[in-house]
A = this chain, B = another copy of it.
């Protein structure tokens, strides 16, 4: 059987999913592309020879031959489109985050539940071969019982101040990926958060009411302790690593590099900087998550990243923020 799918949003990430759907994902047919900028939808549809392009995502939701949608539109449209898609009976893949408002998230999840459709959230890093390998080591017992987890997650450079003002702050726009990763790898729920954060990269970030450097400690219900180390700026590039330590050993990941060359000169022994852009760094993860979604729908299997998985990291981000403000460990249950 073939799944007919529509992509909503023909921007950067929409293009990635559309290309993957055409060439590298099995059992799927990219049937339509929508974008509020009609030319964007048309251009992408033309290049990939997709039969239908529209400026109105409702055209996709109303098409009875389309079984599922991939929502790649602006974040502030996610809640609304998920709700309508669920009501139209479409299975839903939606880019993260669902929303930053807990109540709105809860309403969306209730609608999806009621509609009985599948909803998968695009926490793509879970499908990156590096993190997936760490998960495998933990689940398989290769490193014994997990004791400690360190997540390093640093961006190459800060976003524009204009973005910082509306992003919800570093804990909600950046650490949120790491909260999901911590839950995914530890396989338990965080119970308590302690945060040390400051402005070390750019005073303008502080003036905008945010921090740019943070160290977050998470206690999990199963006894594991995790740290998240965030910075808005690692001058050597996108720094995305993890180290898991257990009773039987440890596993750690290095960054991903554009090549495997080592250069030796009279100055030093060196290699080129790691992949700098998240879409290169995580290219395989986008492919993998979509293949899993298609399989889940076609074979009625559970999706690996649920709406609930989209909700919890928001909770953790709010707790991290509160811990920073009050300089004390904050219980997750204090938040919601």
Contact = CB atoms under 8 A, between A and B. Distances in A.
B231 A142 contact: no
Contacts of A245: 154, 229, 231, 234
Nearest to A264: B236
A300 interface: no
A143 B235 CA distance: 9
A200 interface: yes
Q: Is the interface of A mostly helix, strand, loop or mixed?
A: mixed
Contact of A247 (B130, B201, B239, B258): B201
14 contacts: A48-B49, A129-B259, A147-B213, A194-B194, A198-B223, A200-B223, A229-B245, A231-B245, A236-B264, A248-B265, A252-B264, A254-B260, A269-B272, A328-B328
Closest 9 CB pairs of A and B: A49-B49, A249-B265, A270-B270, A236-B264, A254-B260, A268-B270, A235-B266, A19-B23, A133-B261
Interface of A: 19, 22-24, 47-50, 129-130, 132-134, 137, 142-145, 147-148, 150, 154, 194, 196, 198, 200-201, 213, 215, 217, 219, 223, 225, 227, 229, 231, 233-236, 239, 245, 247-256, 258-274, 327-329
